[in-house]
Structure 1
């Protein structure tokens, strides 16, 4: 009966919006979410690198060690029950958990771990860099990750602490896949990549029932999950790009959660059966300038831009309750953050900076932006405030996947986007915002420095790597603070805000967890009263 209810609901949710839904309440045991999910490019953990993809991977897969729904600040045992680190030998040995199984019913074995890690390295897709920084290559991976009995020994090659390595192994691409199932779906040597972008092969609390791009995702509970079966039978995530439609569906009772409401909509909710929860986020929002565009290369343009953002105006209106002013690459509230905000909206000062540098205005620049709230509103604010100093933005809206793809191609001029750490260590963002050792077009790097074609000064490159290897914890954090201050002052990346995420939900929904990053969104503990 539960399966029939879920099927009927999924069919109803697939109807065009012109046909009003006739549901009074969502079915018992089914959590229905309205969310803009058009940023999804891939679901395979070896390829997934988008925010929504990260949420899904977290709910479908496990890692050897992981941050869990019950306490997202604690690195907890996952598929490994325990581990032992040898800093001198640069190894960590993991003992696999007894009795863990994949959703398919296949047991989790050391062979799955070896296959999963090697697969990420050999496919070498976008998030592979997270693991390759451990010194792993397609040629040496079989020597760097080995197994004996029920243990897996991970060897790393780099001057960093075991704590850093554990954080890397808690990241998305370190998810363990069912090697037996994936091999059955390999086509033309793709190691199951095409199949895993439409299906799942994990041991996580949920399994993927259906994914229809830019339409919906349906996951059902993995009853054999080692950490206890989810409280909810299934989760349906419906793609609803329009925030106004999300609010309408929530108020009608056709969905349980609305993930993308604007501050105005949040403020307008007047319904005793709807509650709003706020979750601090690690994502930082920025404006960046592609250094392939000649008019955007003078440092005076970068400096002036910092005084042309109406920080307070936006946080007091269009992004109120959803973002706070933050001007450094590591988010406030995490060890090593630099929390000074020296820049304010001052168009006169910006004009003076441009004039003193001999910059001729007006400058016309295309600005790529995700065509959804609040990004389009933010882009319009930037368009108005930058025009005060003769920098004219031509806004180019697109879907999340279109904008991100363009960014990865370095084919934009200016970009309004956001960035979250790949793992919870300040090096994750330092490498993204303060490091670029090879700026050539054929040396793709999943960093905002490379994507903006910014040839980072060698001094910053060296300091970024020195901070990574610093053994003294407090000194290491101070090095990251200094890096942030330097990037804040002088780079083509203008960091403006830190996200604070608001989710509106039916009052009878409890247990939803939305941690600081997309990898910390959990449905496992959700209950409906």
Structure 2
């Protein structure tokens, strides 16, 4: 017996030694996708209340929208719950025809009435996602009349004021606010007139390829395959999103195979992973801009010569070569790169002597003191440090104030700042107006207007002629003439020495294990996962 025990011990020891390399090389389950990401900004799963790109990627896998945008060609609109649609000859009415077989996770059929109800709920609650629709002229008072179910499978959207209907369709495809909710299920959980908002903060009522299993804030969110999905069942049985904020931890876990996809990593870690044959790095161009902003409420920056001087006190080339790789790429226009209407970059460079001369003309031969607000994250801090250094070369002594999003952008929304290094702008919708509306447009410069989602308003930058040109370009039906109008807008914007100076356009790097197939990151953050699978 003792000899047998010794033999068994030796055999077990040999087995463990042979198995050690395999055990050290972790592998996620074949039918589950594990995603590492930062969930700090994920505060609600209600499509009407969501804020931040992170939650958009969750919402679009729990809910369906009428249409989607092709991630490879953002100007191409794809069918979803709407199998077809048409625009009236006068551009005032969009009619959508729904598929016949879509059902919510509850088993209730998806109807045009649910979409109309979802939009009424959105505008009545008047939370974060209502902003864009209000800018189109929709309100809680007119939504019943303008967004209507003609029958169970036909939706009509009548535009409340002249607009480009393509922009409305793009918004339905990209924002997540166009998600269709199960009205019957939501209203079962309505309390005190909240339209089910309290319940939907941590629950869902969608028709998407996955249904919510559990969400533990800043820890883990798990979704399971919704069997019987109207497009065909998702290929993954489960998707798990793990809250991870440390880039080195993300790098280690994706190298080991403990996670399949990682987002939000630092550039050094991303660059190191590019040499790893087991992973692939996808660099996704976004329409968001990194910029330097000035407040025209500040006496110095209210002077065009000072703003022009700041234009020549940014090291665009150096920043985009040293700080921005992996975060962004060189871009100096208010309309995102890649659009037919976007003009070539004007080619501004760091020119300290020219800036000094401009400051002297403005009455500041020795410069002045100011403050520069910035997020306490990269690449923002490095951007701000560089800008602080080049400003100082011409005598502008900028004290950096770093902080959280509320501390930095909150001051900008309150119009109580001097200078700011930030990231924002349009670009979610593949239409020039999306960028201009966010960065340039300011129809009412009064403090009382509270146009906090218009960054032109935040900086107090106002030009009536420019606003009129933007309005006219939006309504121009002739494509060639519309392109020319957008060129004229960009030219005038430059001559006005704007308050927001674009430096770089955003790039989002997503790291995947090589065995993950059909994970296609969407530039609008609406990455859909129902076709994702693993090849092992």
- TM-score norm. by structure 1 comes to 0.88
The 10-residue stretch of structure 1 (180-189 or 290-299) with the greater mean CA deviation from structure 2: 290-299
2:500 corresponds to 1:496:
no
Decide whether the 8 Å contact of 1:362 with 1:392 is kept in 2. yes
2:435 corresponds to 1:429:
yes
- Equivalent position to 2:525, from 501, 518, 521: 518
Decide whether the 8 Å contact of 1:325 with 1:341 is kept in 2. no
Decide whether the 8 Å contact of 2:81 with 2:99 is kept in 1. yes
User: Residue 459 of structure 1 aligns to a residue in which SS?
Assistant: helix
Decide whether the 8 Å contact of 1:103 with 1:207 is kept in 2. yes
User: Residue 513 of structure 1 aligns to a residue in which SS?
Assistant: coil
Q: Where does the alignment leave 5 or more consecutive residues of structure 2 unmatched? A: 1-23
Measure, in 1, the Cα distance between the counterparts of 2:91 and 2:331: 40
Describe how 1:253-264 pairs up with structure 2 within 5 A: 253-264=257-268
Measure, in 2, the Cα distance between the counterparts of 1:228 and 1:397: 48
- TM-score norm. by structure 2 comes to 0.87
Measure, in 1, the Cα distance between the counterparts of 2:43 and 2:304: 34
Measure, in 1, the Cα distance between the counterparts of 2:198 and 2:456: 27
2:20 is aligned to none
Measure, in 2, the Cα distance between the counterparts of 1:450 and 1:340: 20
The 10-residue stretch of structure 1 (506-515 or 215-224) with the greater mean CA deviation from structure 2: 215-224
Q: For 1:229-254, what per-residue CA distance to the aligned partner results, in whole angstroms no more than 9, with x for missing partners? A: 32222222223223233222222322
2:179 is aligned to 175
- Equivalent position to 1:224, from 215, 219, 228: 228
Measure, in 1, the Cα distance between the counterparts of 2:72 and 2:31: 20
Residue 327 of structure 1: CA displacement?
0.8
User: Residue 518 of structure 1 aligns to a residue in which SS?
Assistant: coil
User: Residue 27 of structure 1 aligns to a residue in which SS?
Assistant: coil
Measure, in 1, the Cα distance between the counterparts of 2:29 and 2:398: 46
Q: For 1:392-413, what per-residue CA distance to the aligned partner results, in whole angstroms no more than 9, with x for missing partners? A: 4433443446644454444444
Measure, in 1, the Cα distance between the counterparts of 2:67 and 2:95: 12
Describe how 1:72-471 pairs up with structure 2 within 5 A: 72-88=74-90, 90-149=92-151, 150-172=153-175, 173-269=177-273, 270-359=275-364, 361-369=367-375, 371-400=376-405, 403-419=408-424, 420-450=426-456, 452-471=458-477
For the aligned residues, what is the CA RMSD? Answer: 2.6
Measure, in 2, the Cα distance between the counterparts of 1:89 and 1:332: 27
Distance change (3 Å), C-alpha of 1:337 and 1:205: farther
1:18 is aligned to none
Distance change (3 Å), C-alpha of 1:327 and 1:249: same
Distance change (3 Å), C-alpha of 1:409 and 1:231: farther
Aligned length: 507
Residue 290 of structure 1: CA displacement?
3.0
Describe how 1:56-67 pairs up with structure 2 within 5 A: 56-67=58-69
Distance change (3 Å), C-alpha of 1:225 and 1:322: same
